[in-house]
Amino acid sequence: MKPTLPLEELMSPGHLACQGCGAGIAMRTTMKAIGHDAIFTFPACCWTVIDGPFPYSCLEVPLLHMAFEATAATASGIKAAMDTLGKGKTTICGWAGDGGTFDIGLQALSGAAERNNDIFYFCYDNEAYMNTGIQRSGATPYGAWTTTTPVKHFKKEVKKSIDDIVAAHKVPYQATASVAYPEDLYKKLIRAKEIRGFKFIHILAPCPPGWKAKPEDTVKLARLAVQTGIFPVYEVENGKYLQTIKTPTRKPVLEYLKLQGRFKHLKENDVAEVQKLVDSRYAELEKRFSEK
């Protein structure tokens, strides 16, 4: 059997991710594509902990921990230094959660995207502030329970369209990805490594404790999110949209919602509302996918 991904691991065992952590799978796959000649910077996020406490690290690349809102600016600074020091070939990666991307880090992200700094910006999206104990973020979807959107007052706002915000900056490359489709993510990163300029990679990374889901359902959920159209997987290169995981027939959102305790309280009409929101967003994207 021919493996579909390189066998070399740049992420060692012994890390501190929870069982079934989507963010762990996201990093493991990413590292296979990005390789050794790379520098990472993390803001405050789950990966601050996952990487391991001082003096340990589970990654075989240099890593700079940084403040919560500073990922994109820090990566820009590292890149500028590497360029001026004649080490411009090294891939510079910012790696942030959804809070550090959609919310507190948005300004720095926008700045680096507008300047078209030659860096990768990864957002592993687990749809809430999971590291601090499941508080709602701008990435939390409509209907979800979090500790700051309790069951009685579940989240009424829709998830922020971070991909559209980034797209408005006309960056040379951006993509969404799901940990259920590692080959798709790998392929995108290999392609994007060839592109100079700002690259935004948005990876859906299920969080069993935060989503109140079974650890063994992580990949299943990540796949259902794509198959239901909740998290369409595509890329945008120079403004051209391409759906890389096709979903000609979409599964009902209920199949995805019912596996997660965070949606357990939703009544039939709430589920219908989620379905409506997903359909409308998917229709928007479908138009872009079909544009020549």
Partner 1 sequence: MKKVMMGNHAISYGATLSRVQVIAAYPITPQTQVVELLSEIVADQKLKAEFIKVESEHSAMAACIGASSAGARAFTATSAQGLALMHELLHWAAGARLPIVMANINRAMAPPWTIWSDQNDSLSQRDTGWMQFYCQSNQEVLDSVIIAYKVAEKVLMPVMIVLDAFSLSHTYESVDIPDQALVDKYLPPFDYKYKLDVQNPHTYGGLTTPEWYMEFRIKMHEAMDQALVEIKKEAVAFKKVFGRHYDTVDPYMVDDAETVLVTSGTAASTARYAVDQLRAKGKKVGNLRMRVLRPFPFADVREQLKNAKKVIIVDRDISYGYHGIWAQEVKSALYGHSQVPVWNFIAGLGGRDIFPETFYDIIAQVGKKKKPDQELYWVEVKR
Can you give the binding site for partner 1, defined by CB under 8 A?
A: 36-39, 41, 48-49, 51-57, 59-67, 69-70, 72-85, 90, 107-108, 110-111, 114-115, 117
CA 188 to chain centre: 13
Q: How many residues are there in the chain?
A: 292
Minimum CB separation of residue 286 from partner 1 in Å reads 33
Structure tokens at 158: 């829709």
User: Smaller CB distance to partner 1: residue 54 or 152?
Assistant: 54
**Residue 141: burial class (beta carbons within 10 Å; 0-12, 13-18, 19+):** buried
Radius of gyration of the chain (CA): 18
Minimum CB separation of residue 83 from partner 1 in Å reads 6
User: Smaller CB distance to partner 1: residue 1 or 85?
Assistant: 85
User: Smaller CB distance to partner 1: residue 34 or 128?
Assistant: 34
User: Smaller CB distance to partner 1: residue 94 or 143?
Assistant: 94
CA 94, CA 73: separation in Å to the nearest integer? 9
Minimum CB separation of residue 67 from partner 1 in Å reads 6
Minimum CB separation of residue 123 from partner 1 in Å reads 17
Helix axis angle, 182-192 to 22-34, nearest 10°: 40
User: Smaller CB distance to partner 1: residue 49 or 254?
Assistant: 49
CA 239, CA 170: separation in Å to the nearest integer? 7
Question: Do residues 120 and 91 touch, judged by C-beta distance below 8 A?
Answer: yes
Minimum CB separation of residue 154 from partner 1 in Å reads 32
What b/e sequence results for 204-226 when a residue is b if at least 16 CB atoms lie within 10 Å of its CB, and e otherwise? Answer: bbbbbbbbbbeeebbbbbbbbbb
CA-wise closest residue to 96 among 132, 141, 43: 43
Minimum CB separation of residue 87 from partner 1 in Å reads 8
User: Smaller CB distance to partner 1: residue 131 or 227?
Assistant: 131
